[in-house]
Amino acid sequence: MIPPKPAARPERVSLWRYMKLFRQDILSAQPAKLYRAWMAEFRTPFFRSYLVNQPELVREVLQARPMDFPKSDRVGEGLRPLLGNSVFLTNGEAWKRQRRIIDPAFEGGRLRDTFPAMLAAGQTAVARLGTRCGIVEIEEEMSHAAADVIFRTLFSMPIDAPVAADVFEQFRAYQRTQPILNLAAFVPLPKWVPRGHRRRTRDTARAIRGLITRMTADRMAEIRAGTAPDDLATKIMTTADPKTGQRFDTEEMVDQVAIFFLAGHETSASALAWALYLLALHPEAQERVAAEVADLPDRPEMSDITRLRFTRDVFRETLRLYPPVPMMVRETTCPEHFRDRDLPVGSQIVLSPWHIHRQTRLWDNPDAFDPDRFATENGRQCLRDAYIPFSAGARVCTGAGFAMLEGPLLLALLVRAFRFDRIDGDDPVPVAYLTVRARDGIRLSVTKR
């Protein structure tokens, strides 16, 4: 069976209709021709936007000249109340400084140190799901599991710790009220003009940041006292910028923790939920995963997980079909010429993993779920040229290695313990909220193996 994707909008709609559709769901707001176009232009009275699907141009923006194409504030404005000046939103020297401090925490050796905390969260997820067999809302369960991974690896606390549970609940409320874009994405606004954030969005963002501030201040005190655990938060807060010798202060650290939680929890939850749905939709693939993980020891090592090649390819294929971050927006800082078009300064460059991963001129059978495609010549070529779930180049996601360890680990533990079956007539419809989620959730029938 072919996994679901949103219905494309009609080729021509009014600007007002397009803005309304875009704000509701950026995936179904796009016409079908974008799955085969190398480039498309969209004009508004205020700016020009260019969706780029051609691999050579994607490399130009992300890898060859990333500093010439900074992140666009048109998207950042919608996330600013929660993320502040986090590494996800900054540009230029501020971003470089933040990455110099953050990157060492996610190097290969540090990932090995986080593995026991990941494993504990995965085992807890298995135990929790074991009490909920039957018809299960799988997105909710994966959100809980992914949040547990983040809190254990970042702050050495499980999700049921009071402050962690409060952050998780507030974030769920934030996710439901925050569209991926707000008014500033479409209309240039002076700094003093309100950005159109919903009151509930502002309130939940304030509450989340207040809780994270408390956690960060407590950790600062533990570091000063010499009692802090050796986790990701301690590593980042004690790392000095090798150029300036400066460390993050509490406010800066709150910004970074907010994006770690958003990127590490929201995106992982999305990918894991879609992976389990795809395995339910394709039971033969699920049984191959079950056979591959059957002999895992009760307490696997990191090396055991890295040997699970098919399980990893299932997760990789899920990220292709349902990339958690469906679109990235950059901005031109000087005049550019792409294909047959002149792009003025201030143009918006839209790089869409959603469309690039399903590009009909690049991928064989792009809408099909096929974890074995990566062993083919076409699959290997597309991995190099047309696969960007974590972006690419200088701004590649810091946590890409973390995610590619966490995803297969949790899939292995869950499929070893349970069978996941599709419910007839209850297939999810993907939409873009903060990440690619199902419009009405993902329900599966879960039974113990």
Task: Give per-residue pLDDT as tens, 21-72.
Answer: 666 677 877 788 999 999 998 877 667 889 999 999 999 999 999 999 999 8
The 3-state DSSP class for residue 427 equals coil
What span, in angstroms and rounded, lies between the C-alpha atoms of 318 and 278?
8
Asked if pLDDT for residue 274 goes beyond 90, the answer is yes
Could you tell me the two tokens for 411?
A: 């899939």
pTM given for the model: 0.92
Task: Give per-residue pLDDT as tens, 76-99.
Answer: 666 777 888 899 889 999 999 999
Residue 370 phi, psi dihedral angles, 5° rounding? -145, 85
What span, in angstroms and rounded, lies between the C-alpha atoms of 30 and 11?
8
Q: Under CATH, which number does the domain 15-448 receive?
A: 1.10.630.10
What span, in angstroms and rounded, lies between the C-alpha atoms of 290 and 411?
10
Strands 39-43 and 430-432, bridge-based pairing: unpaired
Q: Which residues pair with 389 in a beta bridge?
A: 391
Q: Which residues pair with 432 in a beta bridge?
A: 436
Could you tell me the two tokens for 394?
A: 């200088």
Residue of higher predicted confidence among 163 and 149: 149
What span, in angstroms and rounded, lies between the C-alpha atoms of 94 and 160?
35
Q: What is the mean pLDDT of the chain?
A: 89
CA-derived radius of gyration, the chain: 21
What span, in angstroms and rounded, lies between the C-alpha atoms of 127 and 124?
5
What span, in angstroms and rounded, lies between the C-alpha atoms of 430 and 25?
9
pLDDT for res 194: 47
Residues in Cβ contact with 168 at an 8 Å cutoff, skipping those fewer than 6 apart: 143, 144, 147, 159
C-alpha of 319 from chain center: 9
Exposed/middle/buried for residue 196 (C-beta within 10 Å: 0-12, 13-18, 19+): middle
Helix (H) or strand (E) holding 136: strand 134-137
Task: Give per-residue pLDDT as tens, 244-261.
Answer: 999 998 889 999 998 888
- With contact defined as beta carbons under 8 Å apart, do 326 and 26 qualify? yes
- With contact defined as beta carbons under 8 Å apart, do 238 and 223 qualify? yes
Asked which of 9-13, 166-170, 182-186, 224-228 is least confident by mean pLDDT, the reply is 182-186
pLDDT for res 192: 42
What span, in angstroms and rounded, lies between the C-alpha atoms of 151 and 156?
6
pLDDT for res 21: 61
Strand order in the sheet with 443-448: 134-137, 443-448, 418-421
DSSP 219-234: HHHHHHHT---SSHHH
